[in-house]
C-alpha cells in the first residue's frame, strides 16, 4: 500500500503530498505521524499520512521508516486542508496547530513528556503487611508503615515530612520489601485556585430565557448573542454548557487572551468544578500546555476555555463552540497561518452540525450584518441582569479646553470628578490608547521628527530609560541634544503617553495612589493579573492604562472612567477606525459602575460631533450600526466585500518594484480576460514602507472572496514561486485586522 505524506515543513514548495511505500512491518492509518527519508538528507523528516491508496503514479518510492506514538484525526486533516487553501499557507502549518503541543521537535528526546515522579506504596497486600508491621521494632518504621497504609502514592519527601522521620528509614523499608517504588504521572495544571465557592444556575430573566430557548443544542446553527455589558451573557454560556455536558459532550469557550484571567476561569470552575475544565493560553508553561491538551484529548476535560488557538483543541465529541467578545482583534492570527478563529469555528461547527455562539456588546459589523441576511440568528439582551445602571457618559471638547488655557492632558471637568472620587474612596480608571512617555520628538524650529531609519515611523520616547524606541522593530537610540537636521536645540516632545499621564496625575493629586498598566509595565508572566489584583485588593485610587484595561474586567469599586483622548483610534488610517473607536469607548465605559453605585464616564476628544463618539455616549450600538453600514456600502468595504492585501517585501527597492509590476500585470490580465467582478489597485508602498531593513509594497483587491478569487491568488503565488526569488517575499491576507 502507498501512503500520501505531508512533510512537516513551512517551505512553500513542500506544500503537497509525497508518496511512500507502507512496509509490511508497519500498520499505518490516515492521520498517523511518521518518520520518512526525504531528499538526500541523512536524517529522517517528520510527516503526517493524509491518505492511503493502492498504487502510485511515481516509481522508485521510498519506504516509511517508523510511526510516532501520536496521530491526528481525519476531521483535523480536513480542517487543515481547508485552512491552507483559504489562508494561503502550507497544510503542515495548519496541522501543526492541532498536534500534541511540544511534540514537533525533530529531536524526539527534546520533546515534552509526561511528568513522572516516584511514589511509595505497600509492597504487599494489606493483610500480608499487617503481620510484617507487627514484627517491626522501630517506632519510626511503624509510623511510616501506618502512614503509607492510609496514604498511597506519596513521595519519600512527603512521607518523611508528615511522619517526622527520614528518607533513609523509608529506603530501609523498601530494601526489606515492605514498601515499593511506583511511578506516577503528575498533572501540571494551571488551575491553582481550587477553593472556589460553587455556584448554581441562576433563574433567568425573560430576555435570557428567550435567548436560550432559541438555541437547540442538538440542531446547530450560528447565533449572535448581542447583549450590553453585564446583561448576563456569561450566565447563558454557563447554562448552555450544562446542557451539552448532560449529553456528555465537550464545549469550547474562546475569550480574548487578555481577559483570560483567573476571575473569568473561576466562574466556570465555580459552576462545573476544576476537574472537567482545561485552560489553554499563551502564558502556560510547556508542561502545563501538554498536560491540559492530554486532559482534553483523553476526554477528561469537557469544557475548554482558551484564547484563539484553543479552537484547535482535540475536544472529544464536541457539542458547542462559544466565542465571547467576538469583535475582539485577538481572534485574528498575525502569524502564519493568518487565520480568523471565528471562520475556523464556523467551519468546525458546520461540519459537525453543532451550534456556534458569538457574544458581544459591540458586535463586529460583519457579524451583525450576517443576522440581517439571516445567515445567523440574532439574540438580544438589552438590560443589565443585576439591575445595575448603565454609566452616565459626558463628552469634553478639548478644543474648548485649549481655548481656556488648559493644555494639560486632564481637563478641568475630569480633574474635578477624579478629586470627588478620591474623596469618596471610589476607584478611577484613566484610559489612554498609547504607550511611552511622549509619542515623538520634534524640532520646533524646522519641524524635523525623529524616525526609525529602518521602519520610517516616529520613535517613541521612554522617559525612565531616557531612550527613543521604535515600536515596530525594537530599535533604540539615545535622545539627541540638538536637532539632527538644523542643529537647533529647540527640540521638544509632543503628544502624551501613559507615563506622562501618570506624572500629571501625581502632580495634580499628590496624595492619591496610582498604578499603571501598559506594555512596558506588563511583561513578565502573570504581571498583568498582578497589577489588576493589586488595583482591586489594595483599593488603589487610580489605574492608568492602555487598551489592556478595556476588556472584560469587573471592578466593583470603579465608578469613574476617564478617556484621555478618544481621537487616537479615529486616526489610524483604516476603514474600521470608527468601528474600533465605538467599540473601545463602549467597552471602557462598561468598566464603570458595574454594581450598585452609578458609574460616570468622561470622554475627552477634539471631535465631539463624530458619530462614533456620539453613539458611544449612549452605548447605542444599533444607531452606530445603522450609520456605519450605509457608509461601508457606498465605499465598498466589508461586509459588502472582502479586502485582500497582497504584501510584498524585498531587501532591494528595484527588485521589489519589478516583482510588484510582474504580479500586478499577471493579475490585471487575468481579471480583464476572465471578467472578474473585482477591483484591483496598483501596487504602492505600504503605509510603513520599511520594516527591519526590508522595503514593503502592497496591492489591494476589493472583491467577494470566493473560490474563483481564491484560485486566482493561488495561481499567482505559484507563479511567484516560479520566479525563484531569493530575497523577496509575498504573502496574501484576507480582511487583515491591521492594515499597516
Ligand atoms: P455579561 O457576560 O453579559 O457581561 P454576566 O453574565 O457577567 O454578564 O452578568 C452580569 C452580572 O449579572 C453577574 O454578576 C451575574 O451573576 C448577574 N446575573 C446574570 N444573570 C442573572 C440572572 N438571571 N439573575 C440574577 N443575576 C444575574
Ligand atoms: Zn531642526
Ligand atoms: Zn524600526
Residues 87-134: tens digit of each pLDDT: 999 999 999 999 988 777 666 677 777 777 888 999 888 888 888 888
Which atom from ligand 1 is nearest to the alpha carbon of 229?
A: 4
Looking at the fold, whether 470 and 399 belong to one and the same domain comes out as: no
From the list 549, 547, 622, the residue with the least C-alpha distance to 581 is: 547
Q: How many domains does the chain have?
A: 6
- The Cα–Cα gap between 316 and 318 comes to 6
Please list the alpha-helical segments (H only) found in 618-652. 621-635
Q: How far is the CA of 489 from the centre of ligand 2 (A)?
A: 8
Residue nearest atom 20 in ligand 1 by C-alpha distance: 232
Q: How far is the CA of 681 from the centre of ligand 3 (A)?
A: 27
- The Cα–Cα gap between 582 and 577 comes to 9
pTM of the model: 0.83
Q: How far is the CA of 457 from the centre of ligand 3 (A)?
A: 7
For position 161, which CATH number holds? 1.10.10
Give the tens place of pLDDT for each residue, 627-685.
999 999 988 889 999 989 999 999 999 999 999 999 999 999 999 988 888 889 888 88
Give the tens place of pLDDT for each residue, 41-51.
888 888 999 99
Taking CB atoms and a 6 Å cutoff, what residues make up the pocket around ligand 1? 202-205, 208, 227, 229-235, 385-386
Looking at the fold, whether 78 and 132 belong to one and the same domain comes out as: no
Give the tens place of pLDDT for each residue, 330-371.
999 988 899 999 999 999 999 999 999 999 999 999 999 999
Q: How far is the CA of 469 from the centre of ligand 3 (A)?
A: 8
Q: How far is the CA of 696 from the centre of ligand 3 (A)?
A: 13
- The Cα–Cα gap between 740 and 738 comes to 6
Residue 655 lies in a domain: yes
Residue 105 lies in a domain: no
Strands lying side by side in the sheet with 2-7: 17-21, 2-7, 44-53, 32-37, 66-71
Please state, for a pLDDT cut of 90, what percent of the chain lies above it.
48
471-497 average pLDDT score: 80
Looking at the fold, whether 672 and 697 belong to one and the same domain comes out as: yes
pLDDT bracket for residue 519 (50, 70, 90):
low
The ligand minimizing its distance to the Cα of 480 is: 2
Give the tens place of pLDDT for each residue, 521-542.
666 555 777 788 888 888 899 9
- The Cα–Cα gap between 566 and 409 comes to 12
Q: How far is the CA of 409 from the centre of ligand 2 (A)?
A: 26
Testing ligand 1's pocket by substitution, the residue of 209, 228, 232, 271 carrying the most ligand atoms inside 8 A of its CB is 232
One DSSP character per residue, 5-36 reads EEES---GGG-SEEEEE--TT----TTEEEEE
Give the tens place of pLDDT for each residue, 273-284.
988 999 998 878
Q: How far is the CA of 399 from the centre of ligand 2 (A)?
A: 28
Looking at the fold, whether 151 and 169 belong to one and the same domain comes out as: yes
The ligand minimizing its distance to the Cα of 271 is: 1
Residue 740 lies in a domain: no
pLDDT bracket for residue 27 (50, 70, 90):
very high
Task: Give pLDDT, residue 436.
Answer: 44
Task: Give pLDDT, residue 293.
Answer: 93
Q: Could you report how far apart the first and last alpha carbons of the chain are, in Å?
A: 50
Q: How far is the CA of 366 from the centre of ligand 1 (A)?
A: 26
Q: Which residues surround ligand 2, an ion (CB under 5 A)?
A: 443, 445-446, 448, 483, 485-486, 488
Looking at the fold, whether 489 and 558 belong to one and the same domain comes out as: no
Looking at the fold, whether 612 and 650 belong to one and the same domain comes out as: no
For position 52, which CATH number holds? 3.40.1440.60
Looking at the fold, whether 451 and 521 belong to one and the same domain comes out as: no
643 in Cβ contact with 700 (< 8 Å): yes
The ligand minimizing its distance to the Cα of 324 is: 1
For position 646, which CATH number holds? 3.30.70.600
Residue 588 lies in a domain: yes
Residue nearest atom 4 in ligand 1 by C-alpha distance: 230
Looking at the fold, whether 29 and 94 belong to one and the same domain comes out as: yes
Q: Which of 186, 220, 240 is the last residue of a domain?
A: 186
Looking at the fold, whether 629 and 650 belong to one and the same domain comes out as: no
Residue 193 lies in a domain: no
Q: Helix 167-175 and helix 156-163: axis angle, to 10°?
A: 120
The ligand minimizing its distance to the Cα of 455 is: 3
Looking at the fold, whether 501 and 489 belong to one and the same domain comes out as: no
- The Cα–Cα gap between 544 and 418 comes to 12
For position 409, which CATH number holds? 3.40.50.300
Residue 597 lies in a domain: yes
Looking at the fold, whether 597 and 702 belong to one and the same domain comes out as: no
Testing ligand 1's pocket by substitution, the residue of 204, 207, 386 carrying the most ligand atoms inside 8 A of its CB is 386
- Tell me which residue range forms the domain holding 728: 642-734
Residue 107 lies in a domain: no
Task: Give pLDDT, residue 739.
Answer: 65
Q: Which of 570, 603, 633 is the last residue of a domain?
A: 633
410 CB contacts (<8 Å, ≥6 apart)?
Answer: 418, 501, 504, 505, 508, 562, 564
Testing ligand 1's pocket by substitution, the residue of 199, 210, 235, 259 carrying the most ligand atoms inside 8 A of its CB is 235
Residue 192 lies in a domain: no
Give the tens place of pLDDT for each residue, 692-728.
889 999 898 999 999 999 999 999 998 887 666 678 8
The ligand minimizing its distance to the Cα of 488 is: 2
Give the tens place of pLDDT for each residue, 576-608.
888 988 998 888 877 776 666 778 999 998 888
Q: Which residues surround ligand 3, an ion (CB under 5 A)?
A: 452, 454-455, 470, 472-473, 475
Mean pLDDT of all residues in the chain? 87
Q: Which three cell numbers stand for residue 362?
A: 459591540
Looking at the fold, whether 501 and 621 belong to one and the same domain comes out as: yes
Q: How far is the CA of 565 from the centre of ligand 3 (A)?
A: 25
Choice between 481 and 570, residue whose per-residue pLDDT is larger: 481
Amino acid at each position: 500500500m502507498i501512503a500520501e505524506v505531508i512533510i512537516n515543513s513551512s517551505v512553500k514548495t513542500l506544500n503537497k503530498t509525497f508518496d511512500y511505500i507502507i512496509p509490511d512491518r508497519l500498520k499505518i492509518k490516515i492521520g498517523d505521524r511518521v518518520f520518512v527519508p526525504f531528499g538526500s538528507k541523512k536524517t529522517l523528516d517528520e510527516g503526517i499520512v493524509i491518505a492511503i491508496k493502492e498504487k502510485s503514479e511515481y516509481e522508485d518510492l521510498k519506504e516509511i521508516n517508523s510511526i510516532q506514538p501520536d496521530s491526528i484525526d481525519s476531521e483535523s486533516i480536513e480542517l487543515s486542508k481547508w485552512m491552507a487553501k483559504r489562508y494561503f499557507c502550507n497544510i503542515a502549518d495548519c496541522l501543526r496547530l492541532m498536534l500534541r503541543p511540544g511534540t514537533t521537535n525533530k529531536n524526539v528526546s527534546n520533546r515534552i513528556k509526561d511528568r513522572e515522579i516516584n511514589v511509595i506504596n505497600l509492597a504487599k497486600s494489606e493483610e500480608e503487611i499487617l503481620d510484617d508491621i507487627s514484627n517491626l521494632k522501630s517506632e519510626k518504621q511503624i509510623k511510616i508503615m501506618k502512614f503509607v497504609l492510609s496514604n498511597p502514592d506519596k513521595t519519600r519527601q512527603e512521607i518523611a515530612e508528615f511522619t517526622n522521620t527520614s528518607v533513609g528509614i523509608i529506603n530501609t523499608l523498601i530494601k526489606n520489601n515492605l514498601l515499593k517504588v511506583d511511578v506516577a504521572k503528575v498533572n501540571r495544571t494551571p488551575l491553582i485556585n481550587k477553593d472556589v465557592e460553587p455556584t448554581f444556575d441562576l433563574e433567568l430573566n425573560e430576555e435570557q430565557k428567550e435567548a436560550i430557548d432559541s438555541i437547540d443544542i442538538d440542531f446547530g446553527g450560528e447565533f449572535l448573542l448581542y447583549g450590553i455589558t453585564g446583561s448576563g451573557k456569561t450566565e447563558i454560556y454557563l447554562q448552555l454548557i450544562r446542557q451539552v455536558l448532560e449529553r456528555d459532550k465537550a464545549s469550547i469557550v474562546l475569550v480574548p487572551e487578555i481577559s483570560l484571567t483567573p476571575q473569568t476561569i473561576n466562574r466556570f470552575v465555580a459552576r462545573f468544578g476544576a476537574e472537567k475544565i482545561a485552560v489553554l493560553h499563551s502564558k502556560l508553561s510547556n508542561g502545563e500546555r501538554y498536560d491540559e491538551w492530554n486532559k482534553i484529548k483523553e476526554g477528561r476535560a469537557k469544557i475548554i476555555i482558551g484564547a484563539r488557538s484553543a479552537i484547535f483543541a482535540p475536544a472529544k465529541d464536541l457539542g458547542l463552540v462559544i466565542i465571547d467578545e467576538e469583535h475582539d482583534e485577538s481572534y485574528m492570527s498575525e502569524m502564519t497561518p493568518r487565520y480568523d478563529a471565528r471562520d475556523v469555528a464556523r467551519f468546525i461547527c458546520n461540519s459537525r452540525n453543532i451550534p456556534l455562539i458569538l457574544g458581544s456588546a459591540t458586535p463586529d459589523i460583519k457579524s451583525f450584518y450576517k443576522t440581517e441576511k439571516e445567515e445567523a440568528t440574532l439574540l438580544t439582551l438589552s438590560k443589565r441582569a443585576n439591575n445595575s445602571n448603565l454609566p452616565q457618559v459626558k463628552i469634553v471638547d478639548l478644543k474648548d479646553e485649549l481655548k481656556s488655557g488648559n493644555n494639560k492632558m486632564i481637563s478641568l471637568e475630569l480633574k474635578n470628578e477624579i478629586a470627588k472620587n478620591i474623596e469618596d474612596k471610589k476607584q478611577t480608571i484613566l484610559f489612554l490608547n498609547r504607550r511611552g512617555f511622549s509619542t515623538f520628538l520634534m524640532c520646533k524650529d524646522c519641524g524635523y521628527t525623529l524616525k526609525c531609519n529602518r521602519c520610517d515611523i516616529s520613535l517613541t520616547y521612554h522617559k525612565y530609560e531616557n531612550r527613543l524606541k521604535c515600536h515596530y522593530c525594537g530599535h533604540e537610540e539615545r535622545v539627541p541634544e540638538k536637532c539632527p537636521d538644523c542643529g537647533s536645540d529647540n527640540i521638544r516632545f509632543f503628544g502624551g503617553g501613559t507615563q506622562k499621564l501618570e506624572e500629571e496625575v501625581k502632580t495634580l493629586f499628590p496624595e492619591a495612589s496610582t498604578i499603571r498598566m501598559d506594555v512596558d509595565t506588563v511583561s513578565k508572566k502573570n504581571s498583568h493579573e498582578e497589577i489588576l489584583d493589586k488595583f482591586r485588593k489594595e483599593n488603589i485610587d487610580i489605574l492608568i492604562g492602555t487598551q489592556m484595561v478595556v476588556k472584560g474586567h469587573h471592578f466593583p469599586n470603579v465608578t469613574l472612567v476617564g478617556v484621555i483622548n478618544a481621537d487616537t483610534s479615529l486616526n489610524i488610517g483604516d476603514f474600521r477606525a470608527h468601528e474600533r473607536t465605538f467599540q473601545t469607548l463602549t467597552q471602557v465605559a462598561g468598566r464603570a459602575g458595574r454594581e450598585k453605585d452609578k458609574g460616570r464616564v468622561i470622554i475627552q476628544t477634539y471631535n465631539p460631533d463624530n458619530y462614533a463618539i456620539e453613539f458611544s455616549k449612549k452605548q447605542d450600538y444599533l444607531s452606530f450600526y445603522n450609520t456605519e453600514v450605509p457608509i461601508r456600502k457606498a465605499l465598498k468595504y466589508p461586509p459588502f466585500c472582502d479586502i485582500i492585501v497582497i504584501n510584498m517585501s524585498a531587501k532591494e527597492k528595484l527588485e521589489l518594484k519589478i516583482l510588484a509590476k510582474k504580479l500586478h500585470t499577471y493579475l490585471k490580465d487575468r481579471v480583464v480576460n476572465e471578467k472578474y467582478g473585482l477591483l484591483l489597485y496598483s501596487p504602492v508602498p505600504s503605509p510603513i514602507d520599511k520594516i527591519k531593513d526590508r522595503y514593503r509594497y502592497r496591492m489591494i483587491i476589493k472583491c467577494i472572496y470566493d473560490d474563483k478569487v481564491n484560485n486566482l491568488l493561488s495561481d499567482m503565488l505559484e507563479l511567484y514561486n516560479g520566479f525563484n526569488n531569493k530575497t523577496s517575499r509575498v504573502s496574501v491576507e484576507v480582511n487583515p485586522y491591521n492594515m499597516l
